[in-house]
Structure 1
Amino acid sequence: MNEKRSQIAITGANGFVGRNLIKFLNHNKVSIISLTRSKHLSLKYETNVRYSDLDQKNLISKLKNCNALVHLIGQGTQSVDATYDDVNIELTKTIVKLCKNAKIRKIVYISGFGVSKSTTFGYFISKFKAEQEIIKSGLDYTILRASYIVGNNDPLTKNLNKQIKNDSVTIPGSGSYRLQPISVDDVTKVILASTTSKQFSNKIVDLVGPQTVTFENFVRRFTKKQAKIKKVDLEEAYHTALNQPKNAIYGLDDLNILVGDFVGSHKKLERLCGFKLTPLKKIL
């Protein structure tokens, strides 16, 4: 791909998906503007722009040649210093404004699998409202509602590996609730396609893998008998997450997403992106 034809800005560039996306785009010679708060070692086709506030006026000139912005910043857990509304909604409003001022016509947003108008879960409510800000912005958009994105050092993998080191992996409740993991390598390909293909124009798409798996089955495949597996009562898991969050293996929001049992069809995604998604056995 000719780097002069495409220049993509990325927020959340230091995160798990962001780092993988930059490597993939760089490999394909796509020009990248990575927006980060902290120091970031740039790759060949990447320009790193550090900021203290995404509302900074000087960012506009640095993004004026971008044809798309990929918005990866999101808040998965709340604190008094960073709430869902602060990050998932208000920051998205800032990003929309930045796109308009820099004349970036396309925005790709990573939302959450399970987000809907009928949700009562605070995290999903904030994601839904963020989606609405993007939809009503007038920008060309692709909203990707992501299931568990799996790859080297993803958050779930890090959690499970940490438990394996302690010789015991905990499954909250029955473990019969399902996941639909998707490879981070597939995700990077989908994001690039979202910025270039008209088929992704003004669409909300489930970003899910080709197979569903129960959490218990996923854990057993992942651990490969390297650690004991124990189940804890779901009420106990929630009680620990609420009252002893520092000691909790799974936080409140982790539990809400896990036991949500969200599944969907991958066929629309494969049809739009034009390639077969990586099967679960290769992901694990």
Structure 2
Amino acid sequence: MEIRIAITGASGFVGTNLRAFLNDERIHFTSITRRKTRRLKFEKNIVSDLGQKDLPGRLRGCAALVHLIGIGAQTKDADYQSVNVDLTKKAVSLCKKSGIKKIIYVSGLGVGNNTTFGYFLSKLKAEEEIKKSGLDYTILRASYVIGRDDPLTKNLRKQARSGSILIPGDGAYRLQPILVQDVAKVILACVTNKKLSKKTVDLVGPQTVSFARFARRFARNENVKIRKVSLQRAYFTALNRPDDAAFGLDDLNIMVGDFTGNHKRLERLCGFRLNSTGLLPL
């Protein structure tokens, strides 16, 4: 396919899988990372924090920019405003200076005008920056993206190795995970399919599962116990003893939010069916 795609945050979980997918599809792409990565055959790698003056010139000819930079937890060195919002502003500016007409942004499932907590508010502000930019865009509001070494799976496997898996509250709140391989296909469709122009779409898989059921998949070994704690206790630990917490404050906010979306609309716009996450090997 005679297009070139630019990717920010290309060394993260989604970015790494997207790079592999585009390379397999023989699509040329430029990855922007904070440190040099092993270059794939159809890849050009640029080490940048999005602030270099020569960066726009090096991206000329790209049809779209996939903006994957973001954080789901704040630290003293990286907060939601500086990363999720300010770097999105830089990505928008980069598109305009380099002549890139389309931006694809991975936001969060549950983001909306009624949102109240920091992570979602930062994602909402980033979405608004993109919508008012004048660029073509697709905003993908993602549920949990799963695959080999995804953050949620790594967390649950780590807990399983310790002998127990924690379920905050009753665990009845739902997830609608999507396979990372499908995410890569969706992102490419956002570049090539005009049906996804200026759309905000739920990035969700075809299966809805309770957190308790999902977590139990990692406790098949009889020596791994399921341990339920009250939401009050889970939040108390996350707030007061974060180093001991199985889930951070915003992890809990997202999990217990019980956010689900419309996978049929996603399939209809993309023109292909999504895979069942039940096929994912543990």
Q: In the alignment, what sits opposite 1:152?
A: 148
Identity score, percent: 60
Secondary structure at the aligned position of 1:223 is classed as coil
Distance (whole Å) between structure 2 residues aligned to residue 60 and residue 211 of structure 1: 40
Q: 1:130 aligned to 117, 122, 126, which one?
A: 126
Could you list the per-position Cα deviations for residues 112-132 of structure 1 after superposition, in whole angstroms to 9, with x for gaps in the alignment? 000001100110011001000
Q: In the alignment, what sits opposite 2:18?
A: 21
RMSD of the TM alignment (CA)? 1.0
Q: In the alignment, what sits opposite 2:229?
A: 232
Q: In the alignment, what sits opposite 1:264?
A: 261
Listed as ranges, the matches of 1:267-278 within 5 Å are 267-278=264-275
Q: In the alignment, what sits opposite 1:99?
A: 95
Q: In the alignment, what sits opposite 1:66?
A: 62
Q: 1:210 aligned to 188, 193, 206, which one?
A: 206
Q: In the alignment, what sits opposite 1:199?
A: 195
Letter in 2 for 1:43: L
The structure 1 segments of at least 4 consecutive aligned residues displaced by more than 6 Å after TM superposition are none
Distance apart, 1:280 and its partner CA? 2.9
Distance (whole Å) between structure 2 residues aligned to residue 66 and residue 264 of structure 1: 31
**Gapped runs of 5+ residues in structure 1?**
none
Q: 1:254 aligned to 251, 256, 276, which one?
A: 251
8 Å Cα contact 2:157-2:218 kept in structure 1: no
Distance apart, 1:225 and its partner CA? 3.8
Q: In the alignment, what sits opposite 1:220?
A: 216
Could you list the per-position Cα deviations for residues 169-212 of structure 1 after superposition, in whole angstroms to 9, with x for gaps in the alignment? 11111100000000001000000000111011000000001111
Distance (whole Å) between structure 2 residues aligned to residue 218 and residue 89 of structure 1: 31
Q: In the alignment, what sits opposite 1:175?
A: 171
Q: In the alignment, what sits opposite 1:43?
A: 40
Letter in 1 for 2:128: Q
Secondary structure at the aligned position of 1:153 is classed as coil
TM-score, normalization by structure 2 = 0.97
8 Å Cα contact 2:160-2:218 kept in structure 1: no
Distance apart, 1:235 and its partner CA? 0.6
Q: In the alignment, what sits opposite 2:238?
A: 241
Distance (whole Å) between structure 2 residues aligned to residue 161 and residue 262 of structure 1: 23
Q: In the alignment, what sits opposite 1:10?
A: 7
Distance apart, 1:142 and its partner CA? 0.3
Distance apart, 1:223 and its partner CA? 3.1
**Gapped runs of 5+ residues in structure 2?**
none
Query: Would the alpha carbon gap of residues 112 and 159 (structure 1) be closer, same or farther in structure 2, given more than 3 Å must change?
Result: same
Q: In the alignment, what sits opposite 1:90?
A: 86
Q: Which moved more, 1:54-63 or 1:150-159?
A: 54-63
